[in-house]
């Protein structure tokens, strides 16, 4: 088992800088978690369903910051943390580091 030494500082940089593959987001799961109707959820957060592939997309490709990022006492919080996409669950991932931990040159 791989154990990573990572202590999230809740700076929100990952939610502002990494692209979310929206096709991996389960809109029904997230809408249910937020206690919203699916269509209201899609409209509220600017998502569209691709009429050809049926995949969820955001109306603004590459949208940042993540629309589910919120701030609580100057700390980043994910509104959908328990049902967040796989890329968020795996961040920072093996071989990468949180950008806040990287030294700027």
Domain membership flag for residue 98: no
Query: Is 80 part of any domain?
Result: yes
Answer yes or no: is pLDDT of 26 > 60.
yes
**For the chain, what is the domain count?**
1
Question: Which range has the worst mean pLDDT, 22-26, 62-66, 74-78?
Answer: 62-66
Residue 97: inside a domain = no
**Does residue 51 fall inside a structural domain?**
yes
> What is the predicted pLDDT for the residue at 27?
87
Q: Which of 93, 91, 92, 67 is nearest to 80 (CA)?
A: 67
Q: Which domain holds residue 20?
A: 13-90
Task: For residue 60, tell me if it sits in a domain.
Answer: yes
105 within some domain: no
* Residue 102 falls inside a structural domain: no
Asked if the structure places residue 95 within a domain, the reply is no
Element (H, E) at 81: none
pTM score, whole prediction:
0.71
């Amino acid at each position: 088992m791989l154990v990573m030494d990572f202590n999230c500082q809740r700076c929100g940089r990952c939610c502002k800088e990494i692209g979310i593959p929206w096709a991996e987001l389960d809109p029904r799961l997230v809408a249910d978690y937020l206690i919203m109707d699916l269509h209201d959820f899609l409209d509220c957060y600017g998502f569209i369903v691709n009429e050809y592939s049926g995949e969820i997309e955001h109306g603004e490709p590459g949208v940042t910051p993540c629309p589910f990022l919120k701030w609580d006492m100057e700390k980043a919080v994910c509104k959908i943390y328990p049902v967040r996409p796989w890329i968020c669950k795996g961040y920072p991932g093996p071989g990468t580091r949180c950008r806040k931990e990287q030294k700027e040159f």
